[in-house]
Amino acid sequence: MSQLKDCSTLRRWTLALPAVILAAQVVSAAGSEHPGTVRIEPELEAALRLHGEATVLIDFGERPDLRAASTMDWEERGHFVVSELRATADRTQARVRAHLRAEGVAFRSFWIDNLILVPSATRLVLDDLATFEEIAVLRSDRRAMLVEPVQKAFAPTRGRSIEPNISHVNADVVWGMGFDGMGMVVAGIDTGARYTHEVLEPRYRGNLGGGVFDHDFNWLSGDGGSATPVDGHGHGSHTVGTMVGDDGGANQVGMAPGATWIACEGCPDGGCPSIALLTCAQWVAAPYPVGDPSSPDPSKRPHVVNNSWGDCAQSYDGWYQGVVDSWHAAGIYPVFANVNASNCGYGFPPGCNTVGNPGRYGNVTGVGSTGQSNGAYAAHSNWGPTDDPDTVNPVGFPGLKPQVVAPGVNIRSALSGSDSSYGSWDGTSMSAPHVAGLVALMWQTAPCLVGNYAETETIIQASAMAIPYATNCGGEGPGNVPNNATGWGEIDALEAVTQAAAFCGTSWVVFMDGFEDGTTGEWSSTTR
């Protein structure tokens, strides 16, 4: 009997007896000859020949028209998108679900991208699936990787109040103007997070105060693990810390300390299996109570999601594209790390076309690294251009990657070893959450931008400090601005929120010590 662990977050798995053995049919390596009309990826064929069974991603192809979502308010938009996605999946997947149940084949259905994942399919199961005309393609399983830091070091428990990487990009100046991300929610798909850490606990959305926590809608383990937030690696705690971390005293490590965070454990062991990443993706679009995926609530979705994971492929792989498109429709801003040269065995610098998926997608903000205090390119950061042109916001350079860079050297943030553990790490994983935090600052400052990916990214690029760098990779601007190592430049939070406010027609009076002509004291502001 096929047996899967009945974890709380995997209740939607369907379990039964193995598939009935039928007469096998020979399928070519190219995947062009099989009982039906469904395309089978050559990689899947190869896995079947090698192992006799394989994990299969059943892609139904059909997607709903979600263009109307952009005209709706935040809550209506989220419910509309999820409702349309679920309805499309229920309709197109119905016959295949029924067949798999009847044949005793374990599977997991996803509405976020109209997919079914079969964790163990034989040749005979695959041939059966190939007869269903509603299936577009049978894909091999994908497994991404955590963008492991280039260098790790433990850091002192007490910091310098505001970390230099945060002040370097002027985030603290923005706070002084009254904008710290309040009202925004950021999410991380990573190794989890230590929710009791001193810089994370205050900003955890599940923190009800007085030592009471509610993890429903705020935490999910993508592989069905812990019902409470955990982080067995430290990477997720570090990235969440860079987005929002602040203990209210000597450890201000985050870009948007007024925002709140939620997290999904998509890379529980440093590897990022497709089932965990898809589970997290769906939960981000519509969080649900721990152990109850039947009760999603899209009104509790985040505004921005950081993804410091990817692969080392040098060509476009759209297996996660439908997820990103659905996030866009729901108004969720996707940020991805560019991946590090050392993760992929490249030299420093890595050379052209080294950005992996999904960071190379044309409709995500791909983030590379600078060396923090000097704003120079950090040689661990992978380069573009890519083969997936940006059709949402090309700004004349459709294949450019990264879009921008952010500090990625000696970044001090939370670790998961204890509630007061810190590490200084290097990598694009450390850079990406700076941009996620920046989006929170911008959207608080300029509410008309909430859910507007194209205009937000345009402003992030236009406000960046240019860093000319000659990659000789093509597709770059005059004087190597922009370029495929540093994009449009290093983020500048002050300039970005200023341009965002101007776009929305928001203005404010900035003064010191409560006096418009003041020359001493702390910055403060009022909005008009």
Helix (H, G, I), strand (E, B) or coil at 320: helix
Q: In 269-421, which ranges are E strands?
A: 271-273, 304-307, 309-310, 333-337, 365-370, 404-407, 411-414
Residue 511 is predicted with a pLDDT of 39
Structural domains in the chain, CATH included, are 8-141 (no CATH), 145-504 (3.40.50.200)
pTM, entire model: 0.90
Residue 508 is predicted with a pLDDT of 59
Tell me the one-letter amino acid at 317.
D
- Whether residue 474 is predicted with pLDDT greater than 90 in this model: the reply is yes
Its sign, for the CA torsion 287, 290, 291, 292, is negative
* Integer Cα distance of 312 and 399 in angstroms: 17
Determine phi and psi for 189, rounding to 5 degrees. Answer: -100, 110
The number of CA neighbours under 13 Å toward the Cβ of 343 is 30
pLDDT digits over 145-185, tens only?
999 999 999 998 888 789 999 999 999 999 999 999 999 99
373-398: average pLDDT: 93
CB-based contact 153:238 (threshold 8 Å): no
pLDDT digits over 115-140, tens only?
999 999 999 999 999 999 999 999 99
- Whether residue 10 is predicted with pLDDT greater than 90 in this model: the reply is no
* Integer Cα distance of 424 and 414 in angstroms: 9
CB-based contact 516:526 (threshold 8 Å): no
CA 418 to chain centre: 25
- Whether residue 45 is predicted with pLDDT greater than 80 in this model: the reply is yes
